[in-house]
Amino acid sequence: MNSELDLLQPYPFEKLRALFAGAPVQTSQAPINLSIGEPKHPTPPFIKKALADGLEGLAVYPPTLGSPALRESIAGWIERRYGIGRPDPATQVLPVNGSREALFAFAQAVIDRRGKPWVLCPNPFYQIYEGAALLSGARPWFVNAVAEAGYRQDYGAVPEPVLRATQLAYVCSPGNPTGRVMSIEEWRELFELSDRFGFVIASDECYSEIHFDEARPPLGALAAASRLGRDYSRLVVFSSLSKRSNVPGMRSGFVAGDAAILARFLLYRTYQGGAMSPAVQAASVAAWDDEAHVVENRRLYAAKFDSALPLVRGPLGGYRPDGGFYLWLRTPIPDVEFARRLHAECNVDVLPGSFLARTGEGINPGANRIRIALVAPHDECVEGVRRMAEFAAKL
């Protein structure tokens, strides 16, 4: 077996199951799960219809590059969404089976195992980045984002020897779990580091369409590059329909950016076997071409935040994120103990922040934090947050 598999830590939800094992619930209240960021809003009917109408495509092998119609649809969405030049659908857009699969596979294609390469990862973070780095033969370097700095990634704290050996930098904006959107100044700093040290930037933007100001959608990496007068050299972005369109089971997303890198990634994926089903491609075209359902999706999330935030601002330091559907809250006792007792005493499940981070520069930026996913129906989210706030107030 691949010895690098031994380097992987258990996934956060495996840790959560182990934490709750043998801890009986001490209340008759109905269970409420706020731990997993799985979209629960209904899938729009027109997407289901497009999926069903595309089933004839199951009789053929799909090309790894995806259909011209899907690549055109994605390129058009990028142009409309970010107000930038239309990417070349033939060379700068690649459909993928969800951003998770692509984010992992990308490191396997990018990393040159010779030497001892580093991969920069945000901290706290989505654990796929760490696993992708380790299984590509690299080492993850965790770039802390703490409340005292407004959750800004502190790239200035990365030692120069690490930067010289860095081949890939994962970023996530809006961030998971903080919900912070990177500013144009932060992108300028990261681009300058990429220019100086030659590493590739992988921008995870799967939460970009969950935000709270229709006039100010989150800045994306391609738009930041365009605004700064740059091309897409060493820059690739990852996006997905899962959260935008409430279709996590479709496993549909895209990678866009540097044409030379995407050509090599396509070669890798041709061998990996990562082609998207034609039926899913047809449904994806329908989803990318429509914005009305996305606006409604945002309205539902905004209503949950409007109801939940007044309950947690005091006892748990809640704030409205720039984007995404998470609350990133402080805890009055250690986060793991808070989550264990909340489960046992209130039948509410949340994710300890330390499960989403690693100790770097002497601190774990997830310690004494919890992540709340406001994905369940409105009243269920509010009831779970109410129980949690009352529990926290007693501590």
Asked whether the predicted pLDDT for residue 201 surpasses 90, the reply is yes
pLDDT attached to residue 22: 84
Question: Is the pLDDT at 352 greater than 90, yes or no?
Answer: yes
Per-residue pLDDT at 184 = 98
- CATH for the 3-42+293-394 domain, from 3.90.1150.10, 3.30.2010.10, 2.40.50.140, 3.40.50.10490: 3.90.1150.10
CB 34 within 8 A of CB 374: yes
0.95 exceeded by pTM: yes
For the chain, domain boundaries? 3-42+293-394, 56-290
The residue with tokens 């489960």 is: 343
> Residue 353 pLDDT more than 90?
yes
pLDDT of res. 163: 98
Q: What is the pLDDT of residue 233?
A: 98
pLDDT of the residue at 23: 82
Task: State both tokens at 340.
Answer: 């264990």
Residues of the chain with pLDDT > 70, as a percent, come to: 100
CA–CA separation, 124 vs 2, rounded Å? 27
Sort 281 into a burial class: Cβ within 10 Å, 0-12 / 13-18 / 19+: buried
- What pLDDT band is residue 361 in, cutting at 50, 70 and 90? confident
Question: For 21-25, 111-115, 208-212, 368-372, which range has the lowest pLDDT when averaged over its residues?
Answer: 21-25
Q: Please choose, from the candidates 181, 119, 148, 187, the residue with its C-alpha nearest in 3D space to the C-alpha of residue 324.
A: 181
| C-alpha to C-alpha distances, 184 to 32, 159, 192, 383, nearest whole angstrom | 38, 23, 12, 38
Provide the strand spans (E) within 258-380: 326-330, 348-349, 351-352, 369-373
Tens digits of residue pLDDT in 251-309: 999 999 999 999 999 999 999 888 999 999 999 999 999 999 999 999 999 999 999 99
DSSP calls for 77-107: HHHHHHTSPPP-TTTSEEEES-HHHHHHHHH
Work out whether the CA dihedral 152, 355, 244, 119 comes out positive or negative. positive
Give residue 380's pLDDT.
98
pLDDT at res. 314:
87
Q: What is the pLDDT of residues 302-351, one digit of tens each?
A: 999 999 999 999 889 999 999 999 999 999 999 999 999 999 999 999 99
Average pLDDT rounded to a whole number, residues 160-189 = 98
Residues 234-251: b if buried by 16+ CB within 10 A, e if exposed: bbbbbbbbbbbbbbbebb
177 exposure class (CB count in 10 Å sphere: 0-12, 13-18, 19+): buried
In the chain, count of helices (H) and strands (E)? Answer: 14, 12
d(CA 155, CA 231): 22
Residue 271 DSSP symbol: H
CATH entry 3.40.50.620 includes domain 56-290: no
**Using one digit for the tens of pLDDT, what is the confidence trace for 9-68?**
999 999 999 999 988 999 999 999 999 999 999 999 999 999 999 999 999 999 999 999
Burial of 133-172, coded b for 16+ CB within 10 Å and e otherwise, reads bbbbbbbbbbbbbbeeeebbbebeebeeeebebbbbbbbb
Distance separating alpha carbons of residues 328 and 179, to the nearest angstrom: 8
Mean pLDDT across the chain: 97
Alpha carbon dihedral 114, 104, 204, 257, in 10-degree steps, equals 60
Strand partners, 256: 93, 237
